[in-house]
């Protein structure tokens, strides 16, 4: 049994806060964080909280108390990675107000010094595996990347994902996302490329709080498998660890963000899931407090995991089989007092949660056996309904043994659906490493083809990464974004002839003012002209095009 570790980090003032002459209300000393009420009188006492780590990042590196990206990773990331190699599930999730620095702490910026917890964890993991000198020990790594946007789950690594994957519950697996791609990776370069592509696919929009605001929860999962051969018995033992790295969408107040229409609805969904997360943390803290007081069994408070997709999927990481760390990001500004105080209270509650993490040894063999038993029972049940399998695969369909129409009872349909899913899971678990690599290559090819259909290239014509060297001859557009991670990372090639741009064009654009047919590019002999839709807002070099 171990408590959730909690760290808080305060960032520097941003441009919005400087523009409003904000005053700092945060003070840190050792592990203690204090918050002062704005315009407090001399007799007012600050509210003080104690955490595992309190990181002061409001000033610059010249401050001896300044906590940089490396220090945060060394304290949190290294420990969690060590637990993963021991065979435990681990989770790091960042919580805080919109624009408080969550994405910076988790992902970081482009330079090596400013890389966040996620890329540093991946790099050190592969360095440790590459340095392995034990011939009896082998490693394999798979990754998945999903976003939860307006309570819908989208696979960020699979171009076929339409943004509404189903969340299921399995008695052994627990909550999982049906058909979420788990891609095999063999180098840090592989995993970094997938991270970059996933980040570019995330739903990002602007609010008054933050010019580049992540509007979705992002969950990057690494599955680390360690196989060790016993030289005496020749038996192979296996440990499977799941590393969940979660960048939550920012909490915010609608009146502060200036959100309207779709942005306002997004904010409501985000706040709904974060409110549910707060309720879950509160319930788990109450349970831990009750256990400490030796409350009777059966009097545990109800934990509303299923009230949101986010908490349902994070169930194991919150009070279950996981070593978990919460990183709360804070704004230092007095104008954000209420949100910052709320974040500190969230973090203070989370300290009380107790997780029951165990080493995950040989789960696949046990799971495959249980799935086989489940398939056998379901086959028997379906046969009792007068049906027989036509094709023995998880794409199978069923026909009556007598040749008539299939019984359409809810029980039969449910049994067939459960059987298909059980056989799909079993086929996935039985895949060899070579098969997983082939599947990864196939999805990579599909992703590149899907992007090419939209006129987007992730590499230039000579195979180099976009942003490093751009093609000099082929006319093209490059995306711009205030976030360096998102800027100049996509190329839109202007092909010979006509290329339509808009929400439904050859070049697909999203945004509040983007029309279905926004404008047209005409490329004749390398000379490109733009023809705007009369109702569109189209600018060339910052000037309206007419």
Domains of the chain from N-terminus onward: 2-355 (3.40.850.10), 363-433 (no CATH), 454-544 (2.60.200.20)
In degrees rounded to 5, what are phi and psi of residue 220? -100, 120
Half-sphere exposure of 402 (CA within 13 A, CB side): 7
CA dist., res. 521 & res. 541, Å (int): 15
Is residue 257 pLDDT above 50, yes or no? Answer: no
Give the model's confidence band at 92: pLDDT under 50 very low, under 70 low, under 90 confident, else very high: very high
CB atoms < 10 A from the CB of 470, how many? 15
**Average pLDDT estimate for 247-265:** 56
pLDDT digit string, tens, across residues 186-244: 999 999 888 887 877 665 433 343 334 456 788 999 999 999 887 766 777 788 899 99
Per the model's pLDDT, the better-predicted residue between 259 and 29 turns out to be 29
Highest mean pLDDT range out of 30-44, 130-144, 404-418? 130-144
63-67, 296-300, 424-428, 475-479, range with greatest mean pLDDT: 63-67
Taking all residues of the chain, what is their mean pLDDT, rounded to a whole number?
79
> Is 428 or 21 the better-scoring residue by pLDDT?
21
The question of whether 103 is a catalytic residue gets the answer yes
How many CA atoms are closer than 13 Å to the CA of 206, on its beta-carbon side?
Answer: 8
* 501 pLDDT tier (thresholds 50, 70, 90): confident
Among candidate residues 77, 87, 99, 116, the one labeled active-site is: 99
Q: Which of 104, 149, 398, 492 is catalytic?
A: 104
pLDDT above 90 (res 461):
no
**236-247 and 90-96 as β-strands: parallel, antiparallel, unpaired?**
parallel
Please enumerate in sequence order all residues whose Cβ is within 8 A of that of 427, keeping only pairs 6 or more positions apart, or say none.
Answer: 393, 394
From 54, 103, 241, 283, active-site residue: 103
* pLDDT at residue 394, rounded to an integer: 44
More confident residue, 271 or 9: 9
**Residue of 409, 347, 328 whose CA lies nearest to 96:** 328
Annotated binding site: 96-103
Task: Please confirm, yes or no, whether 55 is among the known catalytic residues.
Answer: no
Active site residue 99: yes
pLDDT of residue 409: 66
Annotated binding-site positions for ATP: 96-103
Establish whether 102 is a catalytic residue: yes
Q: What are the E-state strand segments in 152-200?
A: 152-155, 167-170, 174-177, 183-185
Residue 38 and residue 231 in contact, taking contact as beta carbons nearer than 8 Å: no
Which of 247, 348, 460, 483 is labelled catalytic? 247
The count of other CB atoms within 10 Å of the CB of residue 124 is 16
Q: 129-164, pLDDT tens digit by residue?
A: 999 999 999 999 999 999 888 888 889 888 777 778
In the set 77, 101, 198, 502, the catalytic residue is 101
Q: What are phi and psi of 75, to 5 degrees?
A: -80, -40
User: Chain-centre distance of CA 526, in angstroms?
Assistant: 41
**Model pLDDT, residue 445:** 80
Q: Clarify whether 250 is annotated catalytic.
A: yes
C-beta separation of 247 from 239 below 8 A = no
Mark out the alpha helices in 56-110 (DSSP H runs): 69-72, 78-86, 102-106
Q: Exposed, middle or buried: residue 55 (CB in 10 Å: 0-12, 13-18, 19+)? A: buried
- Residue 311 CB coordination number (10 Å): 23
Among 54, 87, 88, 102, the one annotated catalytic: 102
């Amino acid at each position: 049994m171990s408590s959730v570790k909690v760290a808080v980090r305060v960032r520097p003032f941003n441009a919005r806060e400087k523009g409003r002459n904000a005053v700092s209300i945060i003070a840190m000393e050792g592990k203690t964080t204090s918050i002062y009420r704005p315009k407090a009188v001399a007799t007012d006492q600050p509210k003080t909280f104690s955490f595992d780590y309190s990181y002061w990042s409001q000033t610059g590196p010249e401050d001896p108390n300044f906590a940089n990206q490396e220090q945060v990773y060394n304290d949190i990331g290294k420990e969690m990675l060590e637990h993963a190699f021991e065979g435990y599930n681990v989770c790091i999730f960042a919580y805080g107000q919109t624009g408080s620095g969550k994405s910076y702490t988790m992902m970081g910026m482009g330079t090596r010094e400013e890389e966040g917890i996620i890329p540093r964890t991946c790099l050190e993991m592969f360095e440790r595996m590459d340095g392995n000198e034990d011939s009896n020990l082998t490693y394999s790594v798979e990754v998945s990347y999903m976003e939860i946007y307006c309570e819908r789950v989208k696979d960020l690594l699979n171009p076929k994902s339409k943004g509404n994957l189903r969340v299921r519950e399995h008695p052994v697996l627990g909550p999982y996302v049906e058909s979420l791609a788990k891609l095999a990776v063999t180098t840090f370069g592989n995993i970094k490329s997938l991270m970059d592509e996933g980040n570019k696919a995330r739903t990002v929009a602007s609010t008054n709080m933050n010019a580049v605001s992540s509007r979705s929860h992002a969950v990057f999962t690494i599955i680390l498998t360690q196989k060790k051969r016993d030289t005496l018995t020749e038996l192979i033992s296996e440990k499977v660890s799941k590393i969940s790295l979660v960048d939550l969408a920012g909490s915010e107040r609608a009146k502060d963000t200036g959100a309207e229409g779709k942005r306002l609805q997004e904010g409501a969904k985000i706040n709904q899931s974060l409110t549910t997360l707060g309720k879950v943390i509160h319930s788990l803290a109450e349970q831990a407090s009750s256990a400490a007081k030796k409350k009777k069994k059966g009097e545990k408070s109800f934990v509303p995991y299923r009230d949101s997709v986010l908490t349902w999927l994070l169930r194991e990481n919150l009070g279950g089989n996981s070593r978990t760390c919460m990183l709360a990001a804070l704004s230092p500004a007095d104008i954000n007092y209420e949100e910052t105080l709320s974040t500190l209270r969230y973090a203070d509650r989370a300290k009380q949660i107790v997780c029951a993490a165990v080493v995950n040894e040989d789960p696949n063999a046990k799971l495959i056996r249980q799935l086989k038993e489940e398939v056998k029972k379901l086959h028997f049940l379906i046969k009792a309904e007068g049906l027989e399998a036509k094709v023995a695969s998880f794409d199978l369909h069923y026909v009556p043994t007598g040749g008539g129409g299939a019984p359409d009872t809810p029980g039969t349909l449910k049994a067939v659906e459960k059987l298909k899913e059980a056989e799909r899971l079993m086929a996935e678990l039985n895949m060899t490493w070579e098969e997983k690599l082939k599947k990864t290559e196939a999805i990579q090819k599909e992703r590149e083809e899907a992007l090419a259909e939209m006129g987007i290239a992730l590499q230039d014509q000579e195979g180099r990464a976009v942003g490093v060297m751009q093609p000099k001859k082929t006319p093209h557009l490059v995306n711009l974004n205030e976030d360096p991670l998102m800027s100049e990372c996509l190329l839109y090639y202007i092909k010979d002839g006509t290329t339509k741009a808009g929400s439904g064009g050859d070049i697909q654009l999203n945004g509040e003012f983007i029309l279905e047919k926004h404008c047209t590019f005409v490329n004749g002999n390398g000379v490109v002209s733009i023809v705007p839709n009369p109702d569109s807002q189209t600018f060339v070099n910052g000037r309206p095009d007419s």
